[in-house]
Chain A
């Protein structure tokens, strides 16, 4: 009986794992359904690795329309002992996960929606966009007077080339 249970459980997991390496949809469906990452992705750094660092920035706009300066949401740097001890990797990875998910949603919506106004609206209702917005609203704290906030995702490269590039710019959202 236990052998059968093991064969069915591990066999199913292996079949799903093989399918997930070929199609992202399989892994995403299982992850969405369970909200757990039990079906692995073994595509380490392939086929198109991230070759820049992601930064999340935001700025404020007062009711009078005055724009504040861009502020970066701080993520602790990785320490010298990171080969053994690297807690900062989790916040780094969380930001990368949210940005990648938002870009994936954005690309997928662009294929289906041609009207720009509708497309922008659809992106704003996507889970990763809302999650990034919630982080920005949370990070900026409660304002004393009503204001709006906008966030930007910027990629920086240390390759001696372009330096920084804007990946995504949100709309302004009211704090109330």
Chain B
């Protein structure tokens, strides 16, 4: 059960890394001069000059990320070369993140945790005992992520009292102008929706001790939450990174 859950988690997280690698390959100018992740800019963040070799190494790492993620999506980590694919994916993702330095987000962090846990469980050969530890670790991270997100909103007076969701949705970056306008005209509904988000995030860890109908209802809500965030706010990779851990959550809940 744990091996299968972790295998599915690795496959789903790999979908996210596949999309991310294709996004970076298609928008590779973001790493070139005049762009925020140019070598000259990142060198200053690293406080030492980045070698010119990175100009040749970065495309190689991005293609390795894409190829290994595609392999894992198609065949999973238990298949032949699966362990090697996880190693290549982990190294290439960390290498790209190191070169990029900027623009890391929660989806990438969760994805890295899944791949790291998968690496420990499947490299050099799959281990049932390590899979169990990895599944518990990822479930704990998932519950920590929802609880923290809810707790920091609960302590924020703005999240409790002001229509902050309307303001977030009014930005170009996370924008959905029509919904922002709708919520701005209905501040009470907006604050109510914010309390709904806070309650959902804070209450999510309870899913480990609830009955099957409540568990699946919470899971459907979580799926709906991430799909809505992707559709309204452009957080496309969060869907895959967080969906990836749901099989682990199910394994721990059903154990």
Contacts and interface: CB of A to CB of B under 8 A. Distances in A.
Interface of A: 2-3, 5-7, 9-11, 13-14, 17-18, 21, 35-38, 40-53, 76-78, 82-98, 127-128, 130-131, 134-135, 138-139, 141, 157-160
B189 interface: no
A46 B33 contact: no
Going nearest first, the 4 A-B pairs with the smallest beta carbon separation are A46-B152, A47-B156, A82-B234, A51-B167
A167 B156 CA distance: 22
Nearest to A78: B234
26 contacts: A3-B129, A9-B120, A21-B144, A37-B108, A40-B110, A40-B141, A43-B149, A46-B159, A47-B156, A47-B158, A47-B159, A52-B171, A53-B171, A83-B236, A88-B27, A89-B103, A91-B35, A94-B100, A98-B102, A127-B45, A134-B40, A134-B43, A135-B41, A158-B170, A159-B167, A160-B184
Contacts of A159: 166-167, 170, 184
> Chain B at the A interface: mostly helix, strand, loop or mixed?
helix
Contacts, number: 204
A139 B36 CA distance: 9
Contacts of A128: 45
B171 A36 contact: no
A96 B172 CA distance: 13
Given A87-B24, A127-B47, A37 B109 contact: yes
Contact of A47 (B97, B140, B153): B153
Nearest to B167: A51
Interface residues of B, number: 76
B24 A90 contact: yes
Given A10-B134, A46-B152, A41 B106 contact: yes
Contacts of B145: 40, 42
A86 to B, nearest CB: 5
A34 to B, nearest CB: 8
B173 interface: yes
A98 to B, nearest CB: 7
B127 A2 contact: yes
Contacts of A82: 234, 236
Contacts of A139: 34
Contacts of B153: 45-47
B216 interface: no
Contacts of B97: 36-37
Contact of A51 (B37, B94, B140, B170): B170
Contacts of B234: 78, 82-83, 86, 89
Given A48-B158, A90-B30, A40 B133 contact: no
B152 A43 contact: yes
B182 interface: no
A87 B21 CA distance: 10
B210 to A, nearest CB: 22
B104 A37 contact: yes
Interface in B80-134: 94, 97-98, 100-106, 108-110, 112-113, 116-117, 120-121, 127, 129-130, 133-134
